[in-house]
Structure 1
């Protein structure tokens, strides 16, 4: 049984929740849950810790984060097994997430050491003659971090690492389906040397724990990754506090007439089906130039048929379980709806419990739910187009705008796509699912506000203070 961490102590709250393996329904562990009152105690404790965290030296903050990276590497196999058990993540992808997370904390350590400001050239103004000054970044205060199930380690790191680098105390609420990884992160942060007052771990429902955090005047910033509906609710309730939202998408890949098909196909397979498609930037739409459609379609469908579905502990599994059966049922329902509207299943489409087969649909269009909304499952729609102008317009005809990819050997086509696609990131000759953790990551439209990546998250988690000396 796992306790919560509140006010510098491990707390048995007296209420518990089972964490189940999404593949076979077995019990992974039991975790304590927090009430609204306990959540307020965690927020109060974090609020009292502001001065302690603010006055940690850059060297100390950097050392804590470097230590954390080393501890993640030390416990990499244990963490990967935990990700596999509570999230149903394929063991190959779980090891990859653990490796990325260690690197992510190293990037955060770098930001802790370089956090500062810059000189302001006051004398560039006529009224600024003989004045000297600068601006400097200061921690914003308590960070409320609300994290999702699909990357329960690395997306915690994307919030916790920058908060420590900035000198901010944290209240962390992980997804209720995957709280055990966050518990492990909390243990390792304490081992890494983080002051016990610097982190609070609370587990519970969004309606109780999440709302208490969002509505608290003592939390200076909410950083949330999850569904658009919850993100919009947070935005409405947050008041004046800062909010960073990393929300959904129905990411598109464009395969242009001059693309290298043999290169593009394996990228698109991984981009569409890794982590059972439960990735914000998972490929949901592939637009193929009509002159290359048959070639791409044959290779892509054959590759998907050859991939392995099932047990996430199997090293070769590409598509494991979805996080809950209700989510698999929802995605299956969207597939059936699309078929009733004229779509054709090229491969897959069947479900057993939480396991939904890797599914490729043809004859789809932008009016179908399966194309328009975020599936967040192992489903991809392949569609023809005639011109680059047409396909850019179709990609942009979406409420989302997180990332997109284009496969082309023509640099002019690449720059045309870069300039005109309405997304936060454009990947040239790669899947829109590509991400390294130091890059600015975030979207436009309903895909969210703000950017993550340690440097950019630290900027969000700090406030500028301007200083001027009058030397006249």
Structure 2
């Protein structure tokens, strides 16, 4: 953090209880590809953070009872505004995050849909009627069952999807009538602050939202603040579990890491398709996605034909300047992340793994990499590499493949390339993951579906309606003396 320098543009404001504010301290944002400073943003003071929390707490009941059309209209406004400014917003994502422009455009499109679905859910979040006269003691009684916001939410988002993962904190909270304090990653705050700008143009009540680019120390204090009874975190496992441990009486939702497996079964006829999908989604976002393909489990019956196709598809990917619309693989978020990935690859090779492609680093960029015969205790196999690395393992049938998928501390999603419906249902039953994608990579996600993992991959679910359930609790009203 540094004092604002005179030659720089006015720092991007924070949003405190729905209003844009400047602050004395600022944070510089740098382009991962070339290291140039692209913007400065305001870092809120302790006093501003306190006002944001106090306003969220004060807004708890008023926001719960805000008419659905007000919340839906605000969400619709954000969706339409993002669509109208899609090119500008995509360039912003690429500048702060380094992801190729083609993937930034996809992220904006997804975020447009995320807010639109949230607006739809806000309109139909009505509850249900439950007749109680199924028992003689409750004749003439009916229960009105509704879900009510637990209270203000602290939403902590990561750097890898700086727009849409912030949206998955903000949009369901507003749809459910829960005040939200959104905390973006310090390296990628610009997209989140843009969402604050758009929300500030709506009629949401004071305190319904704040967007605060705070540091780690302030974040710990927010996690432990009793006025924020819900914490929704997306990021690394160690940080996520430490949040849960430090706030044992809170509702904590964790979307953590993975080491996504793609299983290529012996019956799969379209090996070219599987190879291209795995190559693309092992390297999109430079592998910085918790559902990027990392482990490739290919049946020995097709391995000799599949692996060369995979290498051809990986080598055909274009790397370089992420602002080039033809580039598919950009830099990692910073050079330290690239150095870590490089060290993990070198460690695997030193332990006996074979380097089939890539493995080279240039600054913050790592060339798309394929390894095979890697010991299963190597970091590139057992941990979340979060980089453009694929590890191939040849399997001896389905039992072996599914055992290898499950032999992991993670359990987010898995992809199973099969045309056999029996295999598909067996995968759903046996794989210890939150989602099984049949006929495609584990990287598929529709933003309206339940999304989350088991084991070390998290607790709770995203996806607009699923997230709204996590942010709310059931309450009932029983009506008496009715003729049913």
Q: Could you state the TM-score of these two structures normalised by the residue count of structure 1?
A: 0.97
Match of 2:261 in 1: 252
Look up the SS of the partner of 1:120 in the other structure: strand
Match of 1:231 in 2: 240
Q: How does 1:181-192 map to 2 (within 5 A)?
A: 181-192=191-202
- Are the aligned partners of 2:149 and 2:471 in contact in 1 as well (CA < 8 Å)? yes
In structure 2, distance between residues paired with 1:198 and 1:399: 37
Which residue of the other structure, out of 244, 249, 255, is the alignment partner of 1:240? 249
Q: How does 1:160-179 map to 2 (within 5 A)?
A: 160-179=170-189
Structure 1 residues not aligned, in runs of 5+: none
In structure 1, distance between residues paired with 2:294 and 2:196: 34
Look up the SS of the partner of 1:134 in the other structure: strand
In structure 2, distance between residues paired with 1:114 and 1:65: 14
Look up the SS of the partner of 1:2 in the other structure: coil
Look up the SS of the partner of 1:124 in the other structure: coil
Which residue of the other structure, out of 432, 447, 457, is the alignment partner of 1:422? 432
C-alpha distance after superposition, 1:417-466 (max 9, x if no partner): 11100000000001000001000000000100001111111111112111
Report the Cα offset of residue 121 of structure 1.
Answer: 2.5
- Are the aligned partners of 2:59 and 2:206 in contact in 1 as well (CA < 8 Å)? no
Which residue of the other structure, out of 322, 325, 329, is the alignment partner of 2:332? 322
Match of 1:221 in 2: 230
User: Which has the higher mean CA deviation after the structures are superposed, 363-372 or 125-134?
Assistant: 125-134
Q: CA RMSD in A?
A: 1.3
Which residue of the other structure, out of 118, 127, 134, is the alignment partner of 1:108? 118
Match of 1:60 in 2: 70
User: Which has the higher mean CA deviation after the structures are superposed, 5-14 or 452-461?
Assistant: 5-14
Report the Cα offset of residue 49 of structure 1.
Answer: 1.8
Report the Cα offset of residue 191 of structure 1.
Answer: 2.0
Q: Is 1:91 aligned to 2:101, yes or no?
A: yes
Match of 1:387 in 2: 397
- Are the aligned partners of 2:154 and 2:231 in contact in 1 as well (CA < 8 Å)? yes
Look up the SS of the partner of 1:191 in the other structure: coil
- Are the aligned partners of 2:151 and 2:179 in contact in 1 as well (CA < 8 Å)? yes
In structure 1, distance between residues paired with 2:120 and 2:17: 28
In structure 1, distance between residues paired with 2:203 and 2:304: 57
Structure 2 residues not aligned, in runs of 5+: 1-10
Look up the SS of the partner of 2:99 in the other structure: coil
- Are the aligned partners of 1:170 and 1:200 in contact in 2 as well (CA < 8 Å)? yes
- Are the aligned partners of 2:55 and 2:206 in contact in 1 as well (CA < 8 Å)? no
User: Which has the higher mean CA deviation after the structures are superposed, 34-43 or 341-350?
Assistant: 34-43
- Are the aligned partners of 2:154 and 2:180 in contact in 1 as well (CA < 8 Å)? yes
Report the Cα offset of residue 7 of structure 1.
Answer: 3.2
In structure 1, distance between residues paired with 2:29 and 2:329: 21
- Are the aligned partners of 1:215 and 1:239 in contact in 2 as well (CA < 8 Å)? no
In structure 1, distance between residues paired with 2:47 and 2:414: 43
In structure 1, distance between residues paired with 2:129 and 2:167: 31
Match of 1:275 in 2: 285
Q: How does 1:70-469 map to 2 (within 5 A)?
A: 70-206=80-216, 208-259=217-268, 260-469=270-479
Report the Cα offset of residue 196 of structure 1.
Answer: 4.4
- Are the aligned partners of 1:33 and 1:202 in contact in 2 as well (CA < 8 Å)? yes
Report the Cα offset of residue 391 of structure 1.
Answer: 0.9
Q: Is 1:7 aligned to 2:14, yes or no?
A: no
C-alpha distance after superposition, 1:158-199 (max 9, x if no partner): 110111101111111100000011111100112244334321
In structure 2, distance between residues paired with 1:446 and 1:34: 33
- Are the aligned partners of 1:250 and 1:375 in contact in 2 as well (CA < 8 Å)? yes
Q: Is 1:40 aligned to 2:50, yes or no?
A: yes
C-alpha distance after superposition, 1:304-329 (max 9, x if no partner): 11111111011111110100111111
Look up the SS of the partner of 2:428 in the other structure: helix
- Are the aligned partners of 2:452 and 2:458 in contact in 1 as well (CA < 8 Å)? yes
User: Which has the higher mean CA deviation after the structures are superposed, 216-225 or 46-55?
Assistant: 46-55
Give the 3 Å change call, closer, same or farther, for CA 462–126 of structure 1 in structure 2: same
Report the Cα offset of residue 37 of structure 1.
Answer: 4.5
Which residue of the other structure, out of 21, 26, 34, is the alignment partner of 1:24? 34
Report the Cα offset of residue 369 of structure 1.
Answer: 1.1
